[in-house]
Amino acid sequence: MHQKLILEVFAKADKEELKETGLSVSTHKLSERISEALWNNFKCSFGDKSLRVLYNDARKNKEKKVVIKQQIVINSLCKYLGYENYIDFVKKNVTSNNTDEIHEQEQKNKKIKPFERILKGVKNNKFAIILSIIFLILSVFFSINKQKWMVWDNNKYVEVKFDTEKYNVGQLKIYKEERIKFFKKIEPSCDVAFFDKKGIVQIWYGKNLKGDLEIFTSLGLHPETGKTLKPITQYMIHKYFCSKTNN
């Protein structure tokens, strides 16, 4: 029955295109039209490529059973044709071969209804809603307390307990062990090993809120400004940090 559905959908799209433009367009164009209509009219997302695959299977190989897996796609295609849903489509195209399909679809709908009643009951139960809110608050509370935190302290990150005030102003950061161990701000001098023996950068620089240049021992974001630090260069070393260095 899905085979008939997809063929009729493309047939309708072809008639609409011919009526609007006077042209008979390609399958690619028709699939794009159908995909757009499914989204605009029924908020159903289904790609034009998938539509073409289904159409080619339905058209070229009548022995191969075409199956559309997503129920929302099936019902949206039926609505595109003017039917209420898939059951309506099957009933109005019924033959002795697909009465079982109607029964199967009705059984699927019956299975959904009990869950809908449960959800409706929960929505109407204020006590259940209050309990849900309390559970959510407790979950967030325990999650926050379980999470480790850190703040920037002068020239390094240090681990701290959760603080609402610091969190609200953006000072509190999620704990990262590598930041604690390896990310430090150091004083620039000619004694700093800006590069290792292989010439690989070991120092990164950036400006603080006052506009002063500072150097750090690891790549990352400036603790005050949040801007990405830059790798040190010979030019920056000579001009700002160590004019006497020959490195």
Helix segments in the chain, DSSP class H: 2-21, 27-42, 48-60, 71-80, 86-92, 99-124, 126-146, 164-168, 177-182, 234-236
Lowest average pLDDT, out of 62-76, 77-91, 202-216, goes to 62-76
Query: By three-state DSSP, how is residue 215 classified?
Result: strand
Instruction: Point out which residues pair with 216 in neighbouring strands.
Output: 185, 204
Residue 228: the pLDDT is: 93
Residue 34: the pLDDT is: 93
pLDDT single digits (tens) 107-123? 555 554 555 565 665 55
Query: By three-state DSSP, how is residue 79 classified?
Result: helix
Closest by CA position to 185, among listed 167, 160, 199, 205: 205
Query: By three-state DSSP, how is residue 48 classified?
Result: helix
Q: Are the C-beta atoms of 211 and 188 separated by less than 8 Å?
A: no
Closest by CA position to 179, among listed 232, 229, 223: 223
pLDDT single digits (tens) 194-247? 999 999 999 999 999 999 999 999 999 999 988 999 999 999 999 999 876 444
* 73 or 24, which is more confident: 73
Residue indicated by tokens 């009933």: 91
